[in-house]
């Protein structure tokens, strides 16, 4: 078993909440180390309040076991996951599915003024005439915005 084979297998696991992107696209797999049959995977949670974390962890273990390996999933609870880790391909898949991808992480904390700025593009029509409807959405990682141009609500990935 090679690390490449494990990465490829993990890339087949859909995000439990937003199945259009894989866990690899989401950037939650930080490292894969293969030692014979033993596979150590470093997993960085997205939001700590995400109810899908346990599901992701189990899916990783099952995938490695299907390859004939023995998985050790180390959960890394530090600041190393950021929405900046979502791959370019993942961002495009999010957009196609109607989720506006996150804006880049800034040096300082996000402000309300930033959230109310015109930097957010509607994933349906591309307009930047959008406004913040609710900082919070159906999962901890999403906000709700409204597009003034095509008059539809859409979900915005929160920057973290």
What's the closest the beta carbon of residue 111 comes to other proteins, in angstroms?
Answer: 7
Count of residues that bind other proteins according to CB under 8 A: 25
> Phi and psi of 44, rounded to 5°?
-110, 115
What gap in Å lies between CA 106 and CA 159, rounded to an integer? 9
- In terms of residues, how long is the chain? 160
Helix (H) or strand (E) holding 115: helix 112-115
- Residues 74, 71, 93, 123, CA torsion sign: negative
Tokens for 24, please give them.
């690899």
Give least dist CB 109 to other proteins, A.
Answer: 4
Residue closer to other proteins by CB (options 3, 135) is 135
Among 110, 117, 127, 152, binds other proteins (CB under 8 A): 110
User: Least CB distance from residue 51 to other proteins, whole Å?
Assistant: 7
User: Of 2-21, which residues contact other proteins (CB under 8 A)?
Assistant: none
> Which range of residues in 16-24, 93-101, 105-113, 147-155 is near other proteins by CB under 8 A?
105-113
Tokens coding 39? 């596979």
Q: Which residues contact 62 (CB under 8 A, 6 or more apart)?
A: none
Determine the Cα–Cα distance for residues 98 and 42; give it in Å rounded to an integer: 29
Residue with tokens 């898949």: 93
> Considering beta carbons, is residue 81 or 120 the nearer one to other proteins?
81
Give yes or no for residue 47 binding other proteins (CB under 8 A). Answer: yes
Contact status: 77 vs other proteins (CB under 8 A): yes
Using CB under 8 A, pick the residue from 2, 111, 128, 149 that binds other proteins. 111
Chain residues that interact with other proteins, rule: CB under 8 A: 47-51, 77-79, 81, 109-112, 115, 133-140, 144, 158, 160
């Amino acid at each position: 078993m090679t690390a490449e084979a494990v990465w490829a297998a993990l890339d087949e696991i859909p995000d439990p909440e937003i199945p259009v992107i894989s866990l690899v696209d989401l950037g939650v797999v930080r490292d894969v180390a293969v030692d014979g049959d033993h596979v150590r995977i470093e997993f960085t949670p997205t939001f700590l309040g995400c109810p899908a974390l346990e599901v992701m962890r189990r899916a990783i273990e099952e995938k490695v076991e299907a390859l004939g390996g023995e998985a050790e999933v180390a959960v890394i609870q530090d600041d190393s996951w950021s929405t900046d880790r979502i791959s370019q391909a993942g961002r495009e898949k999010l957009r196609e599915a109607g989720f506006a991808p996150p804006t880049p992480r800034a040096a300082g904390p996000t402000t309300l003024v930033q959230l109310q700025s015109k930097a957010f593009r509607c994933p349906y029509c591309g307009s930047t005439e959008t406004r913040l409807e609710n900082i919070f959405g159906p999962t901890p990682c999403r906000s709700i915005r409204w597009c003034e141009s095509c008059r539809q609500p859409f979900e915005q990935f929160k920057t973290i």
